[in-house]
Structure 1
Amino acid sequence: MGLRTYVVTGAASGIGAATADHLEGCGDRVIRCDVRDAGVTADLTTPEGREQLASDVTAASGGRIDGLIAVAGSAAPSPLTARLNFFGTVATLESLRPLLAASDLPRAVAVSSLSAVVAADEAIVAACLSMDEDAAVAAVTTAVEAGRGRIVYPSTKLALNRWLRRAAVSPDWAQAGIPLNAVAPGVVDTETARRMFLDDPATRAQVSSMMPQPLGFPGPVSAIVSLLAWTVSPDNSFMTGQILYADGGAEATLRP
């Protein structure tokens, strides 16, 4: 098996950085992308940044990539979360798809979230799936102003799941020979998770009760990295359109 070229967004920290490190440790080439501290820097919350990402990755890769791991995301109760988690991720997948099509064994995966099965705002989801970014921002703003800011993140991830399952079996993806999947982590031990809720005992207990993980809380980042790496490897030749819950059993507990 020859050297593969991978693109990882959100590669400056957390799951993205760990995934990029893992792939490089396996001897593959990784084009790291993030808003800072990366080989390709671009702000995926803006149309200009999305265009910049596509342009710079095309130049850095020479016009061909073998795998795309779209990790970049935000959990902030803000319209920027919809702009990044849904619209930025979809733009990344679609704009880099031609580079994947140039590979003999192309693969793509996005990072979703277990939280998408816990709660969501259908107005946000519907606006995203209609590809109306202004309407999505308005729906997020309404939710935040109503004191429902925590619903924003899972809503954007649910919208991403639904878009991905439809896109994965379309002519542009499956019929072009490009498997497209998502990995939905439960709560894992990242710096962001520690800062947001793991370090606070009360918040940690609340999140643990909402998203019970029989195999352990929080889970290891390495488990997510290994799964992401497999989905974009040549070994994944026949799975597409799947949301893979790497969550210590939480999804099975919540939806038995």
Structure 2
Amino acid sequence: MTAPEHEGQKRHFAGKVAFVTGAASGIGRAAALAFAREGAGVAVADISLEGSQETARLITEEGGQALALKCDVTRSVDVKAALDKTVETFGRLDYAFNNAGIEQATAALADIPEEEWERVLSVNLRGVFLCMKYEIPLLLQYGGGVIVNTSSGAGVKAFPGGAAYSAAKHGVVGLTKVAALDYARSNIRVNAVCPGIVDTPMRLRVFGDTPEERARVLAQEPIGRMGTPEEIAAAVIWLCSEAAAFVTGHALVVDGGQTL
């Protein structure tokens, strides 16, 4: 059995703790694993406890430390309880990746049901607000830290048929910038990552996976392929690292050129 690729490498986040939402699959799972490989203890939070437990298992299988949590980011009581459990288990909080999000059924603005608007905004925007609201006091308590929020290419450019999703993701960029200014002198950096089309379960739900749909998706990416969850996770890790110590309030687009 060969050693893991990261074994023997310097772990830049040793002794640190990361809280990751939407960590049951896709980008969230890749980021949780990436934090663990850098030496951080990782609180793996998702509305799917089974998915959180599987991500935690993958982390511990590689020798990392993980805590699986069930958390509905639209409920302040869930968010606060998950963060309290994180600190109770690991003793501190240093990084938060607020990644939980859902897709929107494609429809022209006037055809979007009010319930769909509320659902998408509740998870994708209110969820980020609630997470930051309860993460920031903990980061202040432990001397500062870094928050990364998941926006989207749809948070920096308009795409037809996605008014609710785009409004929420543009809102995430705005929240990120204001929070960055609010806490710039408190040793807290706040940034957003804006993925393009990434090969995740959400992508399959949105676009399907027929040869025709796959070709249509690839045609949107100048680089000629979809991104991987691991590529977005790498951007998140960089934003949390000392290499990005002078970066705050930034929306980092990682999209293969889609929004150019």
Q: TM-score, normalised by structure 1?
A: 0.78
Aligned to 2:158: 119
Aligned to 2:132: 93
SS in 1 for 2:242: coil
SS in 2 for 1:108: strand
Give the Cα separation in 2 of the matches to 1:116 and 1:151.
11
SS in 1 for 2:191: strand
Q: 1:76 to 1:46 in 2, by over 3 A?
A: farther
Give the Cα separation in 2 of the matches to 1:52 and 1:80.
22
Give the Cα separation in 2 of the matches to 1:60 and 1:80.
32
Q: 2:82 aligns with which of 47, 50, 53?
A: 53
Check if 1:157 corresponds to 2:169.
yes
Aligned to 1:32: 44
Instruction: Report the Cα offset of residue 193 of structure 1.
Output: 0.8
Deviations 1:56-86 (A, max 9, x none): 3343343x21111111111134222211110
Q: 1:60 to 1:84 in 2, by over 3 A?
A: farther
Q: 1:120 to 1:216 in 2, by over 3 A?
A: closer
Q: 2:221 aligns with which of 168, 193, 213?
A: 213
Q: 1:20 aligns with which of 10, 27, 32?
A: 32
Give the Cα separation in 1 of the matches to 2:89 and 2:136.
15
Q: Percent identity?
A: 30
Please tell me the residue identity of whatever aligns with 1:110.
Answer: N
SS in 2 for 1:65: coil
SS in 1 for 2:43: strand
SS in 2 for 1:219: coil
Give the Cα separation in 2 of the matches to 1:102 and 1:233.
20
Deviations 1:205-243 (A, max 9, x none): 55555xx32223311222111010111123321110000
Give structure 1 regions of 4+ aligned residues with deviation exceeding 6 angstroms: none
Give the Cα separation in 2 of the matches to 1:104 and 1:51.
19
The 8 Å contact of residues 9 and 70 in structure 1, kept in 2 or not, is answered as: yes
Q: 1:218 to 1:166 in 2, by over 3 A?
A: same
Give the Cα separation in 2 of the matches to 1:103 and 1:114.
33
Q: 1:192 aligns with which of 202, 206, 210?
A: 202
Instruction: Report the Cα offset of residue 104 of structure 1.
Output: 4.4
Aligned to 2:249: 241
CA-based RMSD: 2.2
Q: 1:155 to 1:120 in 2, by over 3 A?
A: farther
Listed as ranges, the gaps of 5+ residues in structure 1 are 122-147
The 8 Å contact of residues 140 and 186 in structure 2, kept in 1 or not, is answered as: yes
Q: TM-score, normalised by structure 2?
A: 0.77
Listed as ranges, the gaps of 5+ residues in structure 2 are 1-11, 53-67, 106-115
